[in-house]
Amino acid sequence: MMGFDEKSEIEPRVLIGKRVCLRPLAKEDLVHLRKWSEDAEIRGLIGEVTPMSEADSEKFLHKVYADSNRRWFVVVIKNSNQVIGEAGLLRMDAAWRATDVSVIIGEKKGWGKGYGTETILLLLDYAFRHLNFHRVAIGVVGFNDRALRFWEKVGFRKEGIWRDGYYYDGKYYDFVMMSILEDEFRELHGGNDHNDR
Ligand SMILES: CC(C)(COP(=O)(O)OP(=O)(O)OC[C@H]1O[C@@H](n2cnc3c(N)ncnc32)[C@H](O)[C@@H]1OP(=O)(O)O)[C@@H](O)C(=O)NCCC(=O)NCCS
pLDDT (tens digit, 9 = 90+) per residue, 94-138?
999 999 999 999 999 999 999 999 999 999 999 999 999 999 999
The whole-angstrom separation of Cα 107 and Cα 36 is 7
* Domain span at 84: 15-189
In CATH, what number is assigned to the domain containing residue 85?
3.40.630.30
Taking the complete model, does pTM exceed 0.75, yes or no?
Answer: yes
> What residues have CB less than 8 Å from 159, skipping those under 6 apart?
177, 178, 179
The pLDDT mean for the chain works out to 93
Is 168 among the domain residues? yes
Is 4 among the domain residues? no
Is 197 among the domain residues? no
Q: If DSSP codes are grouped into helix, strand and coil, which group holds residue 46? A: helix
Question: How many C-beta atoms surround the C-beta of residue 93 within 10 A?
Answer: 12
Q: Amino acid identity, residue 38?
A: E
Is 195 among the domain residues? no
Percent composition of the chain: helix, strand, coil (DSSP 3-state, to 5): 35, 30, 35
Q: Whose CA is nearest to atom 25 of ligand 1?
A: 146
Domain count, the chain: 1
Q: How many residues in the chain?
A: 197
Is 42 among the domain residues? yes
Is 156 among the domain residues? yes
Is 3 among the domain residues? no
The whole-angstrom separation of Cα 52 and Cα 59 is 10
Q: Mean per-residue pLDDT for 9-17?
A: 85
If pLDDT is split at 50, 70 and 90, which confidence band does 30 have?
Answer: very high
Q: Whose CA is nearest to atom 16 of ligand 1?
A: 150
Is 155 among the domain residues? yes
Q: Whose CA is nearest to atom 14 of ligand 1?
A: 150
In ligand 1, which atom is closest to the CA atom of 147? 1
Question: How many C-beta atoms surround the C-beta of residue 192 within 10 A?
Answer: 13
Q: Mean per-residue pLDDT for 181-185?
A: 98
